[in-house]
Amino acid sequence: MRDQFHQFQKRPLSNITSGLFRNLMLMTTGASILIALVLGIGMLRSGARFFEGLNAIFNAPQPKPEVDVRTLVVHQIRGASELTTAVFTMEAVVPARQDRNVAGYKVGTTTLLYIAYGEVRAGVDLQELTPENVQVVNDTIQLQLPPPRLLDSKIDVTRSSVYDYDRGFLGLGPDVAPQLQTFAQQETLKKIVSTACRERVLEQANDRAQLAVTQLLNTAGYKDVEVKTRSPLPGTCI
């Protein structure tokens, strides 16, 4: 017995540690195998129910996508941008003149007669639409259009011309043809715009915009549509 004790004492510490580590690894491996066996038995017992549960988790029905009808309608209409629904055209003859004075006395006059062809476009700017302008009431889309306005006014220089240019007696009037022509164009444009306003071009633009947008929405698949118009803003047309 004493010899065995001396032999144990003579064993190196590293051998003892190594033995303990091997025993610990064996215990850990055995525990892992035991856990795997338990899980395997559980899966075998549950059978198809286990996989049905996984399938239910990953293939659960997804919520239906929601569509903001108001935003969709606005995007579809905005594509038309500035909707010109009324065009007023007019031809006008406008005289222009300028005197030449010397020492406070008029010594000559230049006159110009300009025949101008002008055009005024009116309509609504659909870029001003917002989702707040669209309401859905009992499956009916109600849309409020922006107020009508003058979109453009211009003189068609290709169809306009100077009819007469006269510098007066002995040509003493100033040679100001370009300036008089520009002045005549400006005055003609003012006259055409004011005439278009008197002819209620904005009201016509409103009526036609209402019809055009209604047809646009019907073509896009919206059947029950109610398009409302607004009165022109004060000072829009003078």
Mark whether 129 and 162 lie in a shared domain.
Answer: yes
Q: Of 138 and 73, which is predicted with more confidence?
A: 138
> Do 50 and 25 belong together in one domain?
yes
95 and 199 inside one domain = yes
* pLDDT tens digits along 175-193: 999 999 999 999 999 999 9
CA–CA distance, 215 with 228 (Å, rounded to integer): 13
- The reply to whether 63 falls in a domain is no
Cβ neighbours of residue 201 under 8 Å, at least 6 residues apart? 86, 88, 120, 122, 150, 237
Q: Picking from 34-43, 160-169, 209-218, 221-230, which range would have the lowest pLDDT averaged per residue?
A: 34-43
In tens, the pLDDT along 124-168 reads 988 888 889 888 888 888 999 999 999 999 999 899 999 999 998
Is the domain of 130 the same as that of 46?
no
Query: Among the three residues 31, 58, 85, which one is the final residue of a domain in this structure?
Result: 58
Examine the fold and report which residue of 34, 58, 82 is the final residue of a domain before the chain moves on. 58
- Expressed as residue numbers, the domain containing 91 is 69-228
- pLDDT at residue 66 is higher than 50: no
39 and 107 co-located in one domain: no
**Can you give the pLDDT at residue 65?**
46
Q: 194 is written with which tokens? A: 């004011």
159 touches 185 (CB < 8 A): no
Name residue, tokens 């118009």.
Answer: 229
- The per-residue pLDDT for 129 is 87
Helix, strand, coil fractions of the chain, as percent rounded to 5: 50, 30, 25
Instruction: Let me know whether 147 and 43 are in one domain.
Output: no
